[in-house]
A and B are shown apart, each in its own frame.
Chain A
Amino acid sequence: MLVSLLVVLLSACDGGLWNNPYPAADGGKSIFYTAFTERPKHLDPAQAYSENEYEFLAQIYAPPLQYHYLKRPYQLVPLAAAQMPTVRYLDKHHQPLPDTAPAEKIAFSVYEIHIKPNLRYQPHPAFARNASNPNAQGKPEYDHLTPHDLRDIHALSDFPHSGTRTVTAADYAYQIKRLAHPQLHLPIFGVMSEYIVGLKDYAAALQQAVKKNPGAFLDLNKYPLPGVQVVDEHTYRIEVYGKYPQFAYWLAMPFFAPMPVEAERFYAQDGMRERNLILDWWPVGSGPYYLSENNPNQRMVLTRNPYYDSETYPTAGEAGDATAGLLVDTGKSLPLIDQIVFTLEKETIPYWNKFLQGYYDASGISSDSFDQAVQVNVGGEATVTDAMRVQGITLSTAVATSTMYTGFNWLDATVGGSSERARKLRQAIAIAVDFEEFVSIFANGRGIAAQSPIPPGIFGYREGEAGINHYVYDWVDGAPKRKSIETAKRLLVEAGYPNGVDAQTRQPLVINLDTTASGVGDKSRLDWLRKQFDKINVQLVARSTDYNRFQDKIRKGDTQMFYFGWNADYPDPENFLFLLSGAQAKVSKGGENAANYSSPEYDKLFEQMKNMENSPARQAIIDRMLEIVRRDSPWLWGFHPKNYVLQHSWLSNVKANVMANNKLKYWRVDAKRRDALRRDWNQPARWPLWLGAVVVLLFGVWLWRVLRQREEAK
């Protein structure tokens, strides 16, 4: 009763719906509500590299380039850059070469980037200028803070003043220098030091500088980096070794966003770190939003950067975008939403139910809710169920630029190596393991069986018969059909394992799968995989291990088979095909080729292909490379996952884009419609409160009477 009373009282005070998790005052505002399931580890653009970190950073930072929101295949367009970077090629004597020069003659590529002149940073205390003190007028207000000054400061919003300034080319150069900072952990330093001229030596020089003055602020501007030159206030150049067309894709990532030196100085002051006031926690960007509230245990809020006025909604897209209403906001200033509220939801059930109540504007779909949300029609097309349609919920899908595969260790004596025996064994297993069934059972159909490492939407992927893996599939009636188990068994006989028994030793063939899967849900997956191997009478033993031991086994090559996945950094075939390059072998080179696959022919073609522009010639090389790896089968190609996103009717301009992380600026919310629908869907049921009150009252009266009777009887 007390509880009921409390609820009534408090809800009455708020004036809104009883189950509304947001303040009633936020009704009608242009706010996008979403959730995050895992707190980001890093918000420093030099250190962040995970998808859940980019969900925030991509809205806050503005690197030179971005992916076009609407056009497909994915293409780069300027973001902070005024136009696409120009590239000049130089030979080893730094003499200019024509654009058509062969890649082996190009010793250096120089990317010249002009940034837009009117870009400004978010409001931040690091930019606040002293106005009150006549002796320090115009100087940074918060650059000599003492612990005493910080006694009441717990968040950035506690600083009374903030300011902004124009973004300059020097800020972009500064951030590139940060990629070699000895006190930061930079995930792409290894790759970038191979390309950006002088970056490796620069890191060593900075390391020495830190050793000389440990604890002192390291001013990177005092140390020139030969590969980066600031030409003028809005122009800078990056010099990379050789020809590296993929470098443009890196320029679309937060690693290459601008960083004002004031921000680093500001956060380096004594007492800041103890208050979690660090760049890794409070970003300073020039993008459409800034982080105005940061409590990653509860919620993180992005607010529109009042100084962001350099971008408008795209004027063109793909065919069909106009019909789908995706060009209604053409030419409008971005962002279209004022605030984005991310709430931490660790569990899928509350997340899903709040979405259905209208308290989240969009949602993914967990396996538990899949049947409630999605149905597949006769044509195999996924659509929302009637219950969702009644609520006006729509579905958008896109194949992720990812691949989930099962690798064979090339160094293993049984399943590895280029011998005909091992190859045929791998091909037989590839036929037997039915990934169409796997996707259907375990991913609710959200994926497509892979024909190679390259997913759809990436150059090199071929549709139709030309794109199928002829070692596993036949083209039947206009669709790929997995070869029969008899074919797999015949390959097994040819490999010397008739009926799953080694013809030489007379021992049954046993293959070990190393996996970190050990939960209840994983058991069914492993049982399914065992059944696939049973089809060809090969025994599969799943060796479950913890994450550390698994990684250790992979590093040492102490496995036979293992599950792995790869999420593309950029939409280029090189970013998938390098996973099978010998130069990337995990055991010998510590690279990303976890299967340790090695084929001199493939490696040679890879070297040829990796620096080429997309062209029929590049496609022809990719075709040859895919033929080699399909024949060798170092992986079971697995599947490419499909992303399913549901959104409410009040959310507009949503188009699936798996490469662009900064898409929230294009979205629009009809807050009035949302409020009206929320009211319809969430009217509280008061009768349980009354019923509870009556029951408690009746029980009290009964108890009182019984007690009185007992006392009287005594």
Chain B
Amino acid sequence: MIAYLIRRILYSLPILVGVNLLTFALFFVVNTPDDMARMQLGIKRVTPDAIEKWKQQRGYDKPLLLNSAASGTDKITGTIFWQKSASMFVLDFGYSDDGRSIGREITTRMGPSLAIALPTFLIGLVAYVSFALLMTLFRATALDMAGVALCVLLMSVSGLFYIIGGQFVVSKLWHLVPISGYDGGMGGFKFVVLPIVIGVIGSVGSSSRWYRTIFLEEIGKDYVRTARAKGLSELAVLFRHVLKNAMIPILTGVVVIIPLLFMGSLLTESFFGIPGLGSYTIDAINAQDFSVVRAMVFLGSLLYIVGLILTDISYTIVDPRVRLS
């Protein structure tokens, strides 16, 4: 397995370089360094000298990908691409275009994002699997039909509706929790309750239906018939055998997103005033802050690769037959 992991890590390097190159190309197709300077300096009273000075100080006065005026390795290293990208491979994200440390910003904002995303993920997983098992238990009955109809209904409603509706009913009409805000420590619970509940409810429909499909597929297999023939109760069949055997498809969809929980959720954080990472990338794109955009895209790719590797490892844990080689 160690050899497999090393190989996967080595494979990820060209992927990261490629993602970085693609981000770079896409960003600079839309924004020139002059545009970036104007965005940072504002539109009032900006002189060409100020733009040149800004570019010079931020290192955007160099050629994009190839420095033909330089010689030797400087042709590559004396470019914006190299100077803005190389340090990221040692996780040094540098400074945003407004002069603030990106690494510090990410570490500060990760916590609040996780405070919402992790409980939503864990509670959601338990809730969706339980609901799907319940529907499977009562399959082809009125309860199952009602459950599926409810899932379709919940899937059809926009996530934004849950947020605004939830804030209106729970916070505005019933005054049970603050409409928005955040606080660290125990005092923060009252702020995260509603976003977590809404986050869980918002995905009940799609996730529960997906798990129900997996369970229904498993429940028709021979080993389930054998278990029933042995006289096991339906609950025991479902929880001891079906759930265990359905773990591979569940893990495929679940483990890969665990590392990405750090990245937060744009809508939830924006409406609930959570100071997380959800809007960091979007804000940076709007502000044409390339330093932040490339750092966040790099981090996202890295976490996704980590998620895929973790998924592979998790297969070996839930199914001893799986060997990574």
A-side interface residues toward B, CB under 8 Å? Answer: 3, 6-7, 10-11, 13-14, 17-21, 23, 41-42, 49-50, 182-183, 185-191, 273-276, 278, 280-281, 295, 297-298, 343-347, 349-350, 353-354, 356-357, 359, 546-548, 551-552, 590, 592, 682-685, 688-689, 703, 707, 710-711, 714
The answer to whether B191 touches A685, judged by C-beta atoms less than 8 angstroms apart, is no
Distance in angstroms from A401 CB to nearest chain B CB is 14
Interface string of B86-121 (1 = CB under 8 A from A): 000000000100111100110011001000000000
Which of chain A's residues has its CB closest to B58's CB? Answer: A185
Cβ B32 vs Cβ A548 within 8 A:
yes
> What are 30 contact pairs spanning A and B, CB under 8 A?
A6-B193, A10-B189, A13-B186, A14-B187, A18-B190, A19-B176, A21-B179, A182-B53, A185-B50, A185-B54, A187-B45, A187-B46, A190-B50, A273-B95, A278-B100, A343-B181, A343-B273, A349-B167, A353-B179, A357-B175, A548-B288, A551-B38, A590-B47, A682-B175, A684-B174, A684-B176, A685-B176, A689-B176, A703-B134, A714-B234
Q: Would you call B235 an interface residue if the criterion is a C-beta within 8 Å of the partner chain's C-beta atoms?
A: yes
Known: A345-B180, A350-B273. A17 touches B175 (CB 8 A): yes
In the complex, the answer to whether B40 meets A350 with C-beta atoms within 8 Å is: no
Residue among A191, A349, A689, A711 with most chain B CB within 10 A = A349
Interchain CB contact under 8 A, B271 and A349: yes
Contact assessment for A350 and B271 in the assembled complex, using a CB-CB cutoff below 8 Å: yes
Q: Which residues of A contact B234 (CB under 8 A)?
A: 707, 710-711, 714
Give the dominant DSSP class at B's interface: helix
Chain A residues with CB under 8 A of B233: 711, 714
**Complex Cα distance A21/B197, Å?**
18
B2 on the A face (CB < 8 A)? no
Interface centre among B38, B176, B189 (most CB of A within 10 A): B176
Binding site for A on B (CB under 8 A): 30-32, 35, 38-50, 53-54, 57, 95, 98-101, 104-105, 108-109, 112, 134, 137, 164, 167-168, 171-183, 186-187, 189-191, 193, 196-197, 233-235, 270-273, 275-276, 279, 288
Chain A residues lying within 8 Å of B31, measured Cβ to Cβ, are: 548
Judging by beta carbons under 8 Å apart, are A21 and B181 in contact?
yes
Q: In the complex, which of the residues A10, A21, A275 has the most CB atoms of chain B within 10 Å of its own CB atom?
A: A21
Contact, CB under 8 Å: B193 / A273:
no
Min Cβ gap A295→B in Å is 6
Q: B101 near A275 (CB under 8 angstroms)?
A: yes
* 7 pairs of A and B residues whose beta carbons are closest in the complex: A297-B275, A21-B181, A298-B275, A21-B178, A350-B180, A548-B35, A685-B174
Residue in chain B with minimal CB distance to A354: B179
Contact B197 A688 (CB under 8 A): no
CB-CB under 8 A from B174, the residues of chain A are: 684-685, 688
A280 / chain B contacts, CB cutoff of 8 Å = 98-99
Which residues of chain A are within 8 angstroms of B105 by Cβ–Cβ distance?
Answer: 276
Q: Given the complex, which residues of A lie within 8 Å of B190, measured CB to CB?
A: 7, 10-11, 14, 18
Query: For the complex, what is the distance from the CA of A551 to the CA of B167, rounded to whole Å?
Result: 39
Picked from B112, B187, B191, B270, the residue with its CB within 8 Å of the CB of A23 is B187
CA distance A347 to B274 in the complex (A): 12
Q: Report yes or no: A683 in contact with B175, Cβ–Cβ below 8 A.
A: yes
- Residues of chain B within 8 A of A552, CB atoms compared: 35
Q: Is B179 touching A19 in the complex (CB atoms < 8 A)?
A: yes
Question: Chain A residues near B43 (CB, 8 Å)?
Answer: 551
A276 to B101, Cβ gap below 8 A?
yes
On chain A, the residues within 8 Å of B137 by CB distance are: 707
A6 lies within 8 A of B189 (CB): yes
Once the chains are docked, how many angstroms separate the CA of A13 from the CA of B189?
11
> Which residue of chain B is the closest to A11 with respect to CB atoms?
B190
